[in-house]
A and B are shown apart, each in its own frame.
Chain A
């Protein structure tokens, strides 16, 4: 198991984004806890197997249609 903080940057003001992240985390089987939420940056603690953290990153890079993710910086928790 691995714990990392995903700092997600972009145009993230859509109210659905946080729920979308939680829902996708549930679907692939990783834990996701929001630490900070802003319109252009959010910070999420993600825990799970390394390959699933990669999968979480890939999904969040695309995100829901009403959000634009510019980049994701992954940091050790």
Chain B
């Protein structure tokens, strides 16, 4: 049995509006699952023994669990806020640890080098000091007051702006990014990274967004986010070690890596180690 403490978490396995009519085989924590459409048109997910797994349909996706989740899926109140456009970005299969995928999403310092002239640009490479905490009341990792200059922060952005960010990790393979909404500066755009752990070294990434953007077409918004993720993919698939180290080992984390360190500490505290390397190589 794989996954340990991570078995009792919810994981995305399909886009709710695009359920496979003929069913689809997949993996979750290294175990076979099957996603299908039931007689009412709803989703049905079963494990390798045919056991029907619990499901939740929320945030554009079907979520399931191999274990017995004690809690509901984490809340995203912005999902119900009028005026937002909810964007199912699609899925990308990546040959990397599911924890690595989340950690990369939390890494601000790579913007100018990987997403050059879009989410960052030289010489604006400095990451200003920001705040990170593990919030015990909600048991989540939060990074706040993150500020970064971005040439094109979103599809709706007209030129460069200093974007403010908040990052949130509410479950071991999901992260939520809140960033200044270019057309509505008083609001946060919500960009999520929902990750399905296929195995310890492969994952399916299901980004989803809740944006204020009345102008861009749905196709353009999807293409923009997919372009960003494709830029990350080659980095993710070449990281060494493939698993996410929970001991710094040969790595030298700096102050800019505070969010990553908080995320790794939180994983370590809960024993969320599927996809992690426990002892430095």
Task: Give A residues with C-beta under 8 Å from B.
Answer: 24, 27-28, 51, 54-55, 58-59, 61-65, 68-69
Which of A28, A54, A62 is most buried by chain B, counting CB atoms within 10 A of its CB?
A: A62
Bound: A33/B248 CA distance, A: 20
* B residues contacting the other copy or chain, number (CB 8 A): 18
User: B265 to A61, Cβ gap below 8 A?
Assistant: yes
In the complex, A58 Cα to B251 Cα: how many Å? 11
A-B residue pairs in contact (CB < 8 Å), sample of 29 = A24-B248, A27-B250, A51-B254, A51-B255, A54-B255, A55-B252, A55-B254, A58-B248, A58-B253, A58-B257, A58-B261, A59-B252, A59-B253, A61-B265, A62-B246, A62-B247, A62-B248, A62-B253, A62-B261, A62-B264, A62-B265, A62-B268, A63-B247, A64-B247, A64-B279, A65-B246, A65-B247, A65-B279, A68-B269
In the bound complex, what is the Cα–Cα distance between A47 and B254 (angstroms)? Answer: 16
A58 pairs with B269, CB closer than 8 A: no
Q: Is B218 at the interface (CB under 8 A from chain A)?
A: no
Nearest B residue to A20 via CB reads B247
- Other A-B contacts than A55-B252, A62-B268, 5 sampled, CB-CB below 8 A, are A62-B246, A62-B261, A64-B279, A65-B246, A68-B269
Complex interface residues of chain B between 232 and 266 (CB less than 8 A to chain A): 246-248, 250, 252-255, 257-258, 261, 264-265
Whole-angstrom distance from the CB of B72 to the nearest CB of chain A?
28
Chain B residues whose C-beta falls within 8 Å of the C-beta of A62 in the assembled complex: 246-248, 253, 261, 264-265, 268
Task: Tell me the nearest residue of chain B to A57, going by C-beta.
Answer: B255
Rounded to whole Å, the gap between the CB of B133 and the closest CB of chain A is 11
**A interface, over-half SS:** helix
A29 to chain B, nearest CB (A): 10
Contacts of A58 in B (CB 8 A): 248, 253-255, 257-258, 261
A40: min CB distance to chain B, Å: 16
What residues of B have a CB within 8 angstroms of the CB of A24 in the complex? 248
- B273's nearest neighbour on chain A, judged by CB, is A65
Q: How far is the CA of A25 from the CA of B250 in the complex (A)?
A: 12
Contacts of B17 in A (CB 8 A): none
B5 within 8 A of A: no
Contact across chains for B253 and A27 when beta carbons are under 8 A apart? no
Write the chain B residue with the least CB distance to A61: B261
Chain B residues contacting A65 (CB-CB under 8 Å) are 246-247, 268, 278-279
Q: 8 closest pairs, A vs B, by CB?
A: A58-B253, A54-B255, A59-B248, A65-B278, A64-B247, A55-B254, A65-B247, A58-B261
Q: How far is the CA of A55 from the CA of B69 in the complex (A)?
A: 37
Least Cβ–Cβ distance between B253 and chain A, in angstroms? 4
Tell me, rounded to whole Å, the shortest Cβ–Cβ distance linking B258 to chain A.
Answer: 7
Residues of B within 8 A of A54 (CB): 254-255
* Complex: A62 Cα to B265 Cα, angstroms: 6
